[in-house]
Structure 1
């Protein structure tokens, strides 16, 4: 079955406090996005890689590819005003009509190749595969009145990416109008009345958002180099 991966990287990363967007920041000497693309290629060298960036960043990205001698084949697609629109643009760029597509945050470079492969295998069977991890901390729900109530953490999961789907179904789901409750691709899929399938993610697959995340990223890379 044909496979594609859409890496969404349309943000400006204002919380990172850096002059360049977070997806272009080098970690371990290589920009974040290049590491993420390489991980998907390592999972399956036949995956069609679609990289969604702001249109204004295309020239800068191409200069980075030249600077770092990055030759891994991928397709650039212009992002939209929201993540929903960016994913939809990425779906339109896929070269085949039937197959599987993984949708992934470009600034999650530490996803394991085993998770990527499992997401494709599960989505082929059930239609979807959403990477999640269990909570470690206690959980409380805060009401509108300011009160809080204990919630059993074993009933909840933290949602990551990749979120992988049968292409025909997720393209149909993204034909609907954008809604505020669409916080990720799973909620768009679920809006059609389809149940999502959860798979085990990996805890270090964090979304690089704040300066301390870069420190953690360098630590993870240092651990790899000492193995």
Structure 2
């Protein structure tokens, strides 16, 4: 084999250490399901396993993977890992009553790790293209904080006392995950008190640091309803990899 060809096919190490926190606290009630949505079967495997596998891609060079689950779901996940012979190394952390508390618990697990870039990702976004994950990590390395987002496809209106009015969707973005941050920056942000205005990690960080937007992907859907599961199945059949 040509040595240069071999070296070119080897994934390059990222410029900094990378970590990932996968937060999965759903109950499945909106799905009308008999189990939490992260454990629902998608193409023969649990949704959360698909998500974990995306971040375990060797080309991404993620140093450590952390899954945050409610206390009552840890044994279920361990059982599924045994059932599906999951060999991907990852840490299991007990989450809190809110997403903010769960991310904070995931960060606490990384308390003694060297600084780098950490991704926070919805455990029920199983189809995130590798290109989106890579671009978001890289943008956070360059800018400190980066979030994947897409332009709304539909027209958007804002409610007012007089009725409603149209918004310029070219100036709007639908926020996805991953959301990637300098690890030290995210630690600082999560030392502040929790506010009701926090809707995601970017909203926790934005008072401390500007948020860079990265082009997301419409395939990067969040499994919330039964329809989402059907769409995800169809995308997987089409070979959605990215």
Which TM-score bucket, shorter chain as reference? over 0.9
Q: Where does structure 2 lack aligned partners over 5 or more consecutive residues?
A: 1-15
Is the 2:55–2:62 contact (alpha carbons within 8 Å) kept by the matching residues of 1? no
1:6 to 21, 36, 48: 21
2:164 to 138, 143, 148: 148
After superposition, the CA RMSD in angstroms is: 1.2
Q: Where does structure 1 lack aligned partners over 5 or more consecutive residues?
A: none
4+ runs deviating over 4 angstroms: none
| Structure number with bigger Rg | 2
Q: Which whole-Å deviations, capped at 9, do the CAs of 1:69-124 have from their partners, x for residues lacking one?
A: 11110000000000000000001111513111000000000111111111111111
Q: 1:2 to 1:65 in 2, by over 3 A?
A: same
1:197 paired residue number:
212
| Residue 53 in structure 1 maps to residue 88 in structure 2 | no
State the TM-score, normalized to the length of structure 1.
Answer: 0.95
> Distance in 2 between the 1:173 and 1:96 partners?
17
| Residue 18 in structure 1 maps to residue 42 in structure 2 | no
Is the 1:133–1:203 contact (alpha carbons within 8 Å) kept by the matching residues of 2? yes
Is the 1:50–1:77 contact (alpha carbons within 8 Å) kept by the matching residues of 2? yes
State the TM-score, normalized to the length of structure 2.
Answer: 0.90
Once the two structures are superposed, the pairs formed by residues 22-101 of structure 1 within 5 Å of their partners are: 22-42=37-57, 43-94=59-110, 95-101=112-118
Shift, 1:13, TM fit: 2.2
Q: Secondary structure of 1:38's partner?
A: helix
Q: Which whole-Å deviations, capped at 9, do the CAs of 1:199-224 have from their partners, x for residues lacking one?
A: 00111101100011111011011111
Shift, 1:146, TM fit: 5.7
* Count of residue correspondences: 223
